[in-house]
Amino acid sequence: MSVSDNPVSETSFVRRALVTFVYGWLVLFLILPLVVVFVEALRQGIEPFFAALIEPDALTAIKLTLLVSAIAVPANLIFGLAASWAIAKFQFRGRNMLITLIDLPFSVSPVISGLVFVLLYGANGLFGQFLITHKLQIIFAVPGIVLATIFVTFPFVARQLIPLMQAQGNDEEEAALSLGATGFRTFLSVTLPNIKWALFYGVLLCNARAMGEFGAVSVVSGHIRGYTNTMPLHVEILYNEYNFVAAFAVASLLALLALVTLVLKSLLEWRDARNGKISAH
Amino acid sequence: MAAASLPGKFLNRAPSIIPGFGLTMGITVSWLSFIVLLPLVALVLRATGIGFEGFAAMLGDQRVLSALKLSFGAALAGALINAFAGLIIAWVLVRYTFPGRRLVDGLIDLPFALPTAVSGLALAALYAPNGWLGVPLAELGIKVAFTPTGVVIACMFIGLPFVVRQVQPVLGDVDKALEEAAATLGATRVQTIFRVILPMILPALLAGFALAFARAVGEYGSIIFIAGNLPFKSEIAPLLIIIKLEEFNYEGATAIAVIMLLLSFAVLLAVNLLQSWGRRRTGLGS
């Protein structure tokens, strides 16, 4: 056994063994699942791959996914800005309670997140009768998918901004206000530049989850092909029809989205680490 | 901003010259009520209509019990494995420099970023009897796809980042001087790790364990493809909620959901207590 020359680290044998363990674990449990998606998607070559992506049902699924995220992400962006301003800039009783409530959707199973909207707006739900008389459909339609997506992505932006804005305090805003800036001007010229990267980070994670949400959307969508199928739901249908190449082709698009998200996230974190700013975690 | 903040002590607010409290608090509370609170109220209302007998009937149903046992059991097993692997990964990432460290660090979050349906498909393809890992495992006599083992594998996949990301910052904050002191006083490296460092990061490790567990209990997308969903055997509780909904058995779906939520909230409460206990004890990771 080799003796470590450094009393506060492990022997080089142990270090090497642990690094090997980490690489082994990563390859087995993270990299292989990622690689298999692309390999399966391209199994029969490039043509069936693209054919699966431009087929009409796939295109409607892609469009619906983009539409849902185009509504859900700005909704949570505005909410996140408002919530973090109210919570971080002011002292009031019940702040921690409010933060807990905002975080709540993270601790609810995606399936239950869908279920609560069925219980609320479904034909048999709390507002079911009202919606039927007014010929409004939410469940098994696009509004339900949007609502369920907003629910599961609810905390993303707010939870990035609140700790950062709390750490930054009010000094700069108070200076701007006392120099005569309006509240809105202060927000735009003082607060926003300070939080823009955390905001981008929150939006990035929110968007990834919004486009990829499966469980909650699955419950409220009704799986109506070419109408209420998002990309993840389309993947499931293709897979259940044993159309594996097409399923993995659409899945590989979502995997690409995840990779882009990860790269941007890492770039932001390295940037923060270099600038010695508060970590986003 | 246009809307002046409400005068007086709305919500017992301390005085401030910063404007916009009324507007932003108004948006926050109304949006929170509409998106989160109202739907949860619908769940609670429906649950009160079920009554004690309804819940008892659900808990007496063998299929429901098996599903709950599988969801909680597999989540527990997955979180335990993740606590072990996640601790080593966090240790290596914080303490060692090695080629590809940044890449490894970035990849840890893959299960967060990858849509659950995609991970589900990928795991099913890997562990299928003819898959890359399914073939060698079958030769060893291990069957993963369509068994509870497959559910555990999926729980391991989605839970890993929770443990690593909880432990990493706390481990980074541990004061090297404490280790040096232990070494100077004659402790072996193993003693230092188990008596000095591990007690300091234990609260973070437990918190990561609990978060991974809570996530895995409710997980749906990553699991259903690899599980095969055989009733009594590899059917998870969230899937059973969907099955009850498809049978228009709203009471049944609600009862299972409420049971799951109560159990999960108990776990999260424990996380919060552990974290505040750990912070008081070590002053780290706050």
Q: Name the pTM for this structure.
A: 0.90
Q: Is pLDDT at B1 greater than 50 in this prediction?
A: no
How far is residue A180's CA from residue B232's CA, in Å, rounded to a whole number? Answer: 69
Residues of B in contact with A182 (CB under 8 A): 1
Please write the tens of the pLDDT for every residue from B84-101.
999 999 999 999 999 999
pLDDT for the residue numbered A4 = 47
Nearest to A214 among B113, B115, B253 (CB): B115
Tokens of A195: 């939080």
Q: Domain spans of chain B?
A: 70-235
Confidence of residue B178 (pLDDT cuts 50, 70, 90): confident
Q: Which two tokens stand for residue A170?
A: 């009010």
Nearest to A214 among B46, B132, B221 (CB): B221
Annotation: CATH topology of B70-235:
MetI-like fold (1.10.3720)
Q: What is the pLDDT of residue A49?
A: 94
Number of neighbouring beta carbons within 10 Å of residue B181: 14
The residue to which tokens 């079958």 are assigned: B138
The confidence score (pLDDT) of residue A261 equals: 94
User: E strands within A149-192?
Assistant: none
Confidence of residue B26 (pLDDT cuts 50, 70, 90): very high
**B92 contacts in chain A (CB < 8 Å):** 18-19, 21-22
Q: Locate the chain B residue with the closest alpha carbon to A268.
A: B106
Q: Which residue of B has its CA nearest to A31?
A: B107
**A281 to chain B: which residues are within 8 Å by CB?**
165, 169
Structure tokens at A32: 């292989």
The pLDDT tens digits for A82-141 are 999 999 999 888 888 899 899 889 889 999 999 999 999 998 888 988 998 998 999 999
- pLDDT class of B7 with cuts at 50, 70, 90: very low
Query: Looking at the predicted structure, is the pLDDT value of residue B13 above 80?
Result: no
Task: Spell A250-274 as b/e; 16+ CB within 10 A means b.
Answer: bbbbbbebbeebbeebbebbeebee
Residue B174 has pLDDT above 90, yes or no: no
Residue B155 predicted with pLDDT over 50: yes
Structure confidence at residue A228 (pLDDT): 87
**What pLDDT sits at residue B282?**
65
Who among A109, A184, A255 is closest to B260 (CB)? A109
- Give pLDDT tens digits along chain A (281 positions): 444 456 677 888 999 999 999 999 999 999 999 999 999 999 999 999 999 999 999 999 999 999 999 999 999 999 999 999 999 999 888 888 899 899 889 889 999 999 999 999 998 888 988 998 998 999 999 999 999 999 999 999 999 999 999 998 899 999 999 999 998 999 999 999 999 999 999 999 999 999 999 999 999 997 777 788 999 999 999 999 999 999 999 999 999 999 999 999 999 888 877 776 544 44
State the best of B30, B68, B114 to mutate against chain A, taking most chain A CBs within 10 Å: B114
Q: Under the phi-then-psi rule, with left for phi > 0, alpha for psi from -120 to 50, and beta for the rest, what region is B235?
A: beta
pLDDT, position B39: 93
Q: What is the mean pLDDT of residues B22-45?
A: 93
Please answer yes or no on whether B28 and A87 come within 8 Å at the CB atom.
yes
pLDDT above 60 for B286: no
**Non-local CB neighbours of B177 within 8 Å, separated by 6+ positions:** none
Average pLDDT, chain A: 90
CA distance B85 to A78: 38
Give pLDDT, residue B12.
Answer: 60
CB contact A255 to B (< 8 Å):
yes
- When CB atoms are compared, the residue of A10, A117, A126 closest to B189 is A10
What is the distance in angstroms between the Cα of B227 and the nearest Cα belonging to chain A? 14
Residues from chain A that touch B28, judged by Cβ atoms under 8 A, are: 79, 82-83, 86-87, 98
User: Pick from A271, A268, A269, A235: which is nearest to A40 by CA?
Assistant: A235
pLDDT in tens, B246-274: 898 999 999 999 999 888 788 778 777 87
Tens digit of pLDDT for each residue in B201-219? 888 898 899 889 989 999 9
Q: Decide: A228 and A64 in contact? Cβ < 8 Å.
A: yes
Q: What is the mean pLDDT of residues B13-33?
A: 89
Residues of B in Cβ contact (< 8 Å) with A112: 43, 218, 238, 241, 257, 260-261
Nearest-CB residue to A111 (from B2, B106, B242): B242
pLDDT of residue B43: 93
Residue B176 has pLDDT above 60, yes or no: yes
Binding-face residues of A in 220-239 toward B, CB within 8 A: 231-233, 235-236, 239
Average pLDDT score, chain B: 88
- ipTM comes to 0.89
Q: For residue B115, list chain A residues with Cβ-Cβ distance below 8 A.
A: 208, 211-214, 231-232, 254-255, 257-258
From residue A122, give the alpha-carbon distance in Å to each of A116, A128, A135, B193, B250: 9, 5, 13, 55, 10
CB distance B257–A154 less than 8 Å? no
Output the pLDDT for position A75: 97
pLDDT digits (tens, 9 = 90+) for B121-145: 999 999 999 999 999 999 999 999 9
pLDDT of residue B203: 84
* Predicted local confidence at residue B8, as pLDDT: 47
Q: Which pLDDT does position B3 carry in this prediction? A: 42
Assess A177–B contact: CB distance below 8 Å, yes or no: yes
Q: Do A94 and B11 touch (CB under 8 A)?
A: yes
Percent of chain B with pLDDT over 90: 61
